[in-house]
């Protein structure tokens, strides 16, 4: 197991190098002149433009720019954005916000999604099962933008249960945005759990377990659920990676200064250093959480081994 994890972690190095170069090339390939856009309707003076292009190596060919970037990176310097703010500081500022939001969202997915899915799976075709079916279909079909604005208006402004926007009330500020962000995945988790559980409940080993005279909850939780969780864990693992990428819509509507907003603005302003720094980090997260999921398989299903 240890060797397996080490090998997987080592494999991330070439992936990260390749990914960062790819992102770098993509930002480079964006049409337009970011320095010209800084001035807006009133252009900057030519000497200032030349100075800025020089400072950010914008006159060099792609490969030279990348080599200079990696050279700085190896010395622990992630570069600066056009306004002179270090990218490392930007990441340190936006990452905690996104992590909190993602964790709250995952917590909702697991708590509500899993419980609803298990209950629906046990009582197939009951009223509750149908309720989960209908409500999850409904939630999945509403665009998150609509969900965000409606819940902000209803629970934030009209009812006043949650803060309308911002992060000033600590983790409480993340509850409503987290729920909105989780809503789609939550519905998937419920449906996945329900289907997987319902299928496994008909399996031979479950009948055997029941025949042994084991109590019902032991059969469901210890025997069936654990086996049914593999697809669910796969989904949640991939979802953590996605959530870490930030949620542009949710972060913007609820005014949470997280990664999604930062990357969106950086791409628009063609801030190469910011985009490459943050997105490479996200690629790492994605790989890391997939590794965690693979390791979890071995915990859930003893038949899976990595040696």
Partner 1 sequence: MRLSKRSAALIATGLTGAMLLSACGGGDDEGGTGGSSAGSDTFSIYIGEPENPLIPGRTSETEGGQVVDSLWTGLVEYDNQTNEAAFTGVAESIESDDATTWTVKLKDGWTFHDGSPVNAQSFVDAWNWVAYSPNAADNSYFFSTIAGYDDLQAPTDDAGNVTGEPAATQMSGLQVVDDLTFTVQLSSPYAQWPTTTGYTAFYPLPPSFFEDPEGFGEQPVGNGPFQAEEAFVPGQGITLTRYDQYGGEQPANAGSVEYVVYAELETAYTDLQGGNVDIIDTLPPDAIASAEAEFGDRYIETEQGDITSLGFPTYDQRFADPNVRRAFSMAIDRQAISDAIFNGTRRPATSFLSPVVNGHRDDACDVCELNVEEANRLLDAAGFDRSQPVDLWFNAGGGHEAWMEAVGNQLRENLGVEYSLQGNLDFSEYLPKQDAKGMTGPFRSGWIMDYPVAENFLGPLYSTTALPPGGSNVTFYSNPEFDALLAQGNSAASDEEAIAAYNAAEDILIRDMPAAPLFNRLNQGAHSENVDNVVINAFGRIDAAAVEVVG
Point out which span in 128-136, 152-160, 196-204, 207-215 binds partner 1 (CB under 8 A): 152-160
* Side-chain half-sphere exposure of 169, counting CA atoms within 13 A: 14
- Shortest spacing between CB 213 and partner 1, in angstroms: 26
CB 25 within 8 A of CB 33: no
Choose between 95 and 132: whose C-beta lies nearer to partner 1.
95
Instruction: Establish if 14 lies at the interface with partner 1 (CB under 8 A).
Output: no
Residue of 9, 297, 105 whose CA lies nearest to 306 = 297
Choose between 195 and 255: whose C-beta lies nearer to partner 1.
255
Q: Report the alpha-carbon distance of residue 76 to residue 64 in Å, rounded.
A: 19
Site string for partner 1, 21-60 (x = CB under 8 A): ---------xxxxx-xxxxxxxxxxxxxxxxxxxx---x-
CB 144 within 8 A of CB 217: no
Burial of residue 59, with CB atoms counted within 10 A of its CB: 0-12 exposed, 13-18 middle, 19 or more buried = exposed
Instruction: Establish if 206 lies at the interface with partner 1 (CB under 8 A).
Output: no
- Give the one residue of 157, 205, 222, 231 binding partner 1; rule: CB under 8 A: 157
Instruction: Establish if 199 lies at the interface with partner 1 (CB under 8 A).
Output: no
Instruction: Establish if 215 lies at the interface with partner 1 (CB under 8 A).
Output: no
Choose between 200 and 270: whose C-beta lies nearer to partner 1.
270
Instruction: Establish if 62 lies at the interface with partner 1 (CB under 8 A).
Output: no
3-state secondary structure 37-97: HHHCCCCCCHHHHHHHHHHCCCCCCHHHHHHHHHHHHHCCCCCECCCCCEHHHHHHHHHHH
Segment 84 to 113, residues that bind partner 1, using CB under 8 A? 84-85, 90, 93-96, 99-100, 103
Instruction: Establish if 67 lies at the interface with partner 1 (CB under 8 A).
Output: no
Choose between 123 and 268: whose C-beta lies nearer to partner 1.
268
- Give the one residue of 66, 69, 254, 286 binding partner 1; rule: CB under 8 A: 254
Instruction: Establish if 144 lies at the interface with partner 1 (CB under 8 A).
Output: no
Choose between 128 and 288: whose C-beta lies nearer to partner 1.
288
The length of the chain in residues reads: 307
Point out which span in 69-77, 190-198, 202-210, 253-261 binds partner 1 (CB under 8 A): 253-261
One DSSP character per residue, 265-301 reads HHHHTT-HHHHHHHHHHHHHHHHHHHHHHHHHHHHH-
Q: Give 256's DSSP letter.
A: -
Instruction: Establish if 284 lies at the interface with partner 1 (CB under 8 A).
Output: no
- Shortest spacing between CB 32 and partner 1, in angstroms: 3
- 85: Cα separation from own chain's centroid: 25
Residue of 191, 22, 203 whose CA lies nearest to 119 = 191
- Shortest spacing between CB 246 and partner 1, in angstroms: 12
């Amino acid at each position: 197991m240890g060797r397996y994890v080490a090998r997987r972690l080592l494999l991330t190095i070439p992936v990260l190098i390749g990914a960062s170069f790819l992102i770098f090339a993509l930002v480079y390939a964006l049409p337009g002149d970011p320095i010209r856009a800084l001035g807006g309707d009133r252009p900057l003076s030519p000497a200032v433009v030349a100075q800025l292009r020089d400072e950010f190596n914008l006159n060099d060919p792609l490969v030279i720019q990348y080599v200079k970037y990696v050279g700085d990176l190896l010395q622990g310097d992630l570069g600066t954005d056009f306004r002179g703010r270090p990218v490392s500081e930007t990441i340190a500022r936006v990452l905690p916000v996104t992590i909190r939001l993602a964790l709250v969202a995952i917590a909702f997915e697991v708590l509500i999604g899993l419980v609803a899915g298990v209950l629906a799976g046990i009582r197939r075709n009951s009223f509750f099962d149908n309720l989960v079916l209908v409500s999850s279909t409904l939630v999945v079909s509403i665009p998150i933008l609509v969900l965000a604005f409606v819940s902000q208006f209803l629970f934030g402004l009209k009812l006043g249960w949650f803060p309308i926007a911002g992060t000033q009330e600590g983790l409480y500020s993340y509850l409503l945005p987290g729920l909105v962000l989780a809503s789609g995945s939550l519905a998937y988790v419920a449906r996945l759990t329900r289907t997987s559980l319902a299928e496994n409940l008909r399996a031979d080993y479950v009948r055997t377990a029941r025949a042994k005279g084991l109590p019902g909850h032991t059969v469901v939780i210890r025997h069936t659920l654990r086996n049914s969780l593999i697809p669910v864990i796969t989904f949640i693992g991939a979802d953590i990676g996605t959530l870490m990428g930030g949620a542009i819509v949710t972060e913007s509507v609820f005014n949470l200064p997280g990664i999604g907003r930062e990357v969106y603005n950086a791409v628009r302003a063609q801030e190469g250093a910011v985009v490459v720094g943050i997105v490479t980090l996200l690629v790492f997260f994605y790989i890391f959480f997939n590794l965690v999921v693979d390791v979890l398989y071995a915990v859930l299903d003893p038949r899976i081994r990595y040696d």
